[in-house]
């Protein structure tokens, strides 16, 4: 009887622990906001963070190159700071496979977002899921993202906004810097290929111009051998 009681208590403790590891735990998977086609929530959050340096990353959460970009950004910039003057928005959208031409064949889903989101270790990062992929078109129009062959859909792009940027129109404002990892823009001089160290340097330069607040500023880039 005593053994049964001990086992019952152990089971209850395990169940309780399992329950605690879900919602409400600080180590739980990062949450995200579903984004409408006008990106209303992102726009509100972007304008609410005016006065901060803002980063906007647009990725497909199952694209290995995008994930490598997130990992590099985390390593070179975000993991080393909790500076509240630096706010990051990450828009996840389905692109790979036939997602854009045949949405019914879409392979990327919202459940792919948390695993990608866990790559960024910074308290001031917010994630969004845009199921329709409309944000990619909206952003491509706003920054005039095109190659010699025409308009290029905006994904795997990494944007930097200054503290004064305001999103007042339907489209996002033009960034101070846009880096990308798109094959269609391989030779672009206007939109350089992503180099997370250069990106981080630009962010640090902008932060240095802002009045100090709480939190530790980003650590300087490690010396390369």
Partner 1 sequence: MTEKPQVIGTASGALGLGAFAAAVGGCCGAPWAVALFGVTGAIGLARLAFLLPYALIGAAILLGVAFWSVYRPAPASADGACVSQSQRRPLRILVWVAAVLVAALSVVAFSPFASS
Cα distances (Å, whole numbers) of residue 86 to 7, 34, 37, 46, 222: 50, 22, 26, 12, 20
Residue 85 tokens, joined: 């003057």
The yes or no reply on residue 96 touching partner 1 (CB under 8 A) is: yes
Task: Number of residues interacting with partner 1: please give it, by CB under 8 A.
Answer: 25
Residue 144 tokens, joined: 């005039």
Can you tell me which of 112, 141, 171, 201 binds partner 1, judged by CB under 8 A? Answer: 112
Residue 64 tokens, joined: 């290995």
Residue 186 has a CB neighbour count (10 Å cut-off) of 10
CB closer to partner 1, 49 vs 113: 113
| Residue 55 C-beta: closest distance to partner 1, Å | 19
The yes or no reply on residue 78 touching partner 1 (CB under 8 A) is: no
The yes or no reply on residue 201 touching partner 1 (CB under 8 A) is: no
The yes or no reply on residue 103 touching partner 1 (CB under 8 A) is: no
Which H, E and C letters describe 172-216, residue by residue?
A: CCCCCEEEECCHHHCCCCCCCECCHHHHHHHHHHHHHCCCCCCCC
Can you tell me which of 155, 161, 191, 199 binds partner 1, judged by CB under 8 A? Answer: 155
* Among 31-39, 139-147, 175-183, 204-212, the segment contacting partner 1 (CB under 8 A): 175-183
Can you tell me which of 29, 41, 75, 97 binds partner 1, judged by CB under 8 A? Answer: 97
The yes or no reply on residue 64 touching partner 1 (CB under 8 A) is: yes
CB closer to partner 1, 35 vs 99: 99
| Residue 62 C-beta: closest distance to partner 1, Å | 4
The yes or no reply on residue 22 touching partner 1 (CB under 8 A) is: no
CA distance 93 to 82: 26
- Residue 205, CB half-sphere, CA atoms under 13 Å: how many? 10
CA distance 19 to 33: 23
CB closer to partner 1, 50 vs 100: 100
CA distance 27 to 8: 27
- Can you give the binding site for partner 1, defined by CB under 8 A? 60-68, 71, 95-97, 107-108, 112, 115-116, 118-119, 155-156, 181-183
């Amino acid at each position: 009887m005593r053994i049964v009681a001990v086992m019952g208590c152990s089971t209850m403790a395990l169940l309780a622990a399992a329950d605690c590891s879900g919602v409400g735990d600080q180590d739980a998977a990062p949450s995200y906001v579903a984004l409408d086609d006008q990106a209303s929530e992102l726009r509100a959050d972007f304008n609410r963070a005016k006065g901060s340096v803002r980063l906007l990353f647009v990725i497909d959460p199952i694209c290995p190159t995008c994930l490598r970009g997130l990992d590099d950004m985390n390593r070179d910039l975000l993991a080393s700071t909790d500076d509240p003057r630096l706010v990051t928005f990450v828009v996840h959208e389905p692109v790979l496979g036939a997602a854009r031409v045949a949405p019914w064949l879409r392979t990327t889903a919202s459940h792919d977002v948390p695993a990608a989101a866990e790559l960024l270790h910074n308290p001031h990062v917010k994630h969004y899921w845009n199921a329709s992929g409309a944000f990619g078109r909206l952003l491509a129009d706003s920054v005039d993202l095109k190659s010699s062959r025409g308009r290029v859909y905006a994904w795997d792009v990494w944007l930097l906004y200054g503290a004064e940027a305001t999103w007042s129109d339907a489209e996002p404002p033009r960034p101070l810097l846009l880096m990308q990892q798109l094959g269609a823009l391989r030779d672009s001089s206007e939109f350089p290929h992503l180099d997370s160290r250069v990106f981080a340097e630009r962010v640090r330069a902008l932060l240095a111009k802002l009045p100090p607040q709480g939190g530790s500023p980003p650590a300087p880039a490690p010396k390369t051998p």
